[in-house]
Structure 1
């Protein structure tokens, strides 16, 4: 299924390339048109790999957030890390006009956006680390994360109010999410970050299973709760911050996909849920990206428009179907 969606994702777009030609190219037969080689190798394959990495990162981090906080509406962005990344990009794009800072003038290149986003995400991650050191209650930590996110969003709103139209447009386009900006040179760095974050989650699977029965039970089973909290914050920061830096914020995948995995596999065992969620995250984001490409049209929809169209009805349906507490 992943392979089929991957081939469709590469095949469809403003210029459609026959799947048969793709299969022949994989077998070593050159494309009949040189332009197809450039389109597939330089643009569509890196974009599809980025979609795969983003699907894994956001869905896995969303699952661990929902389990740790025992909150079905928790997602990878509730710690405020994505909002911090957005603040970094907003400062880069709009602070020049808002505050008259010449330091930021004309610096909105792709790598400068990545660095600004990463700096903002790391800043919030450090603040959350300090909060985790001081705050012992998980629900309070969740509220602190939401407040950090709200504060960052408030600053972004002020910057937007005072910014020039062109700067505001640049930030708005970034906030819509884009899987197509990542090339081969950036994929290595992004893949490394996702690998580190996912590895941290894998080694904590048993601890998350113990968390299903509550914090007190997990502690009675010998789980180092403080260590698990740090792993959760750091791994979520790496996974969410990495994707946001390279792709912008991508909505609803982290919230909706874990619920979809629970519905399909009818289990709360994280030894099953984590790989299932990762695979479903790949499938969903590849499907959303394929739909966003509008085959036959020169432009494509923002990826956030498609993921929200998928995620919002699913969450509403879950609310209507059953009490969320039954999911745990």
Structure 2
């Protein structure tokens, strides 16, 4: 209980600091006043907090929750401490789905509608939902393929290497799409690929939160199943668990979570592998009834910290979020590799 209380405190502190610190530093008491519905000392501060920084903070929170839960679910299903949306090629699959929406969809609408303005309006109208659907389908397809591979190849190192190979193949296909794309679409896709918490505005927050909420609810409902899957298929079946149904449900949840993140924030690296291990270290437990809510809280706090690091407070420069997540998650991935070499598991 103390660990949960501490995580909640850290999360709330991270929210306040993220709203206060950026290129322009705002007083914490003014941030609190605005969040409580009161007027700030300056009208511009209210606009900055509510219209610029709060959507960014909500986005970072949702990204952390989604990647923390997706990584936790995948590590349980594959029984692999290095399993994550990034290492198993899921992010690449989601990127392919997003690339099809960003690059191919506008061309299809132009073919369907002779009026360029109408085609552009239709493409823009369905781009938000289309990105989520495309990215989720791409993530789900890769997850399904990797699950089939994992059922045939028992060596988890080989599974990871195959995931890297599949990721490279998908990356090559995305490169071909980008090469033949319109320059404006190429620029949009490249900017999207850097990863950012700034893209989501209030119009998109509801859709993003809905997608993450669906995946999180499924993860919460499958906590006991994750415990059984972590012990192996034979144990899970002996407990009366329908393994195929549990895996399908879990991978569907992970696909939605990873797909939503890729659609709205871009391909965010390392958080999916790092957050579950940080959570296990905090709670000292492998029980998913603790790890699921713990990963959500830890993920939100870590993502906010990475966002704050990328903002480079008191500077006019902003780093890509992936640079910050690599600084945080890279050493943890290295540590997990050392553990695997010594024969330690989850």
| Paired residues, number | 327
Q: Given the superposition, is the C-alpha separation of residues 148 and 111 from structure 1 closer, same or farther in structure 2, using an over 3 Å criterion?
A: farther
Aligned partner of 1:178 among 189, 196, 210: 196
Paired residue for 1:220? Answer: 238
- Return the offset for 1:135: 7.9
Paired residue for 1:326? Answer: 344
Aligned partner of 2:247 among 226, 229, 250: 229
Paired residue for 2:7? Answer: none
- Return the offset for 1:83: 2.2
Q: Is the 8 A contact 1:72 1:324 kept in 2?
A: no
Aligned partner of 1:291 among 298, 301, 309: 309
Distance 1:13 1:129 in 2: 37
Q: Secondary structure at the match of 1:326?
A: coil
Q: Given the superposition, is the C-alpha separation of residues 103 and 116 from structure 1 closer, same or farther in structure 2, using an over 3 Å criterion?
A: farther
Which moves more between the two structures, 239-248 or 118-127? 118-127
Paired residue for 1:313? Answer: 331
Q: Is the 8 A contact 2:102 2:189 kept in 1?
A: yes
Q: Is the 8 A contact 2:91 2:258 kept in 1?
A: yes
Q: Is the 8 A contact 1:51 1:289 kept in 2?
A: yes
Paired residue for 1:31? Answer: 40
Aligned partner of 1:50 among 56, 59, 68: 59
Q: Is the 8 A contact 2:146 2:163 kept in 1?
A: no
Aligned partner of 2:131 among 105, 113, 117: 117
Distance 2:326 2:143 in 1: 30
Distance 1:208 1:62 in 2: 12
Q: Write out per-residue CA displacement over residues 141-184 of structure 1, whole angstroms, 9 at most, x where no aligned residue.
A: 96887676444322112233445655433222101111111122
Which moves more between the two structures, 15-24 or 311-320? 311-320
Q: Given the superposition, is the C-alpha separation of residues 303 and 258 from structure 1 closer, same or farther in structure 2, using an over 3 Å criterion?
A: same
Distance 1:78 1:231 in 2: 21
Distance 2:105 2:242 in 1: 46
Q: Secondary structure at the match of 1:52?
A: helix
- Return the offset for 1:191: 1.2
TM-score normalized by structure 2?
Answer: 0.82
Which moves more between the two structures, 112-121 or 193-202? 112-121
- Return the offset for 1:89: 3.6
Paired residue for 2:170? Answer: 152
Unaligned runs of 5+ in 2: 1-9
Aligned partner of 1:238 among 240, 245, 256: 256
- Return the offset for 1:3: 1.0
TM-score normalized by structure 1?
Answer: 0.86
Q: Is the 8 A contact 1:81 1:125 kept in 2?
A: yes
Q: Say whether residues 1:62 and 2:71 are aligned partners.
A: yes
Distance 1:115 1:38 in 2: 27
Q: Given the superposition, is the C-alpha separation of residues 137 and 38 from structure 1 closer, same or farther in structure 2, using an over 3 Å criterion?
A: same
Paired residue for 1:19? Answer: 28
Distance 2:182 2:209 in 1: 35
- Return the offset for 1:53: 1.1
- Return the offset for 1:281: 0.5
- Return the offset for 1:77: 4.0
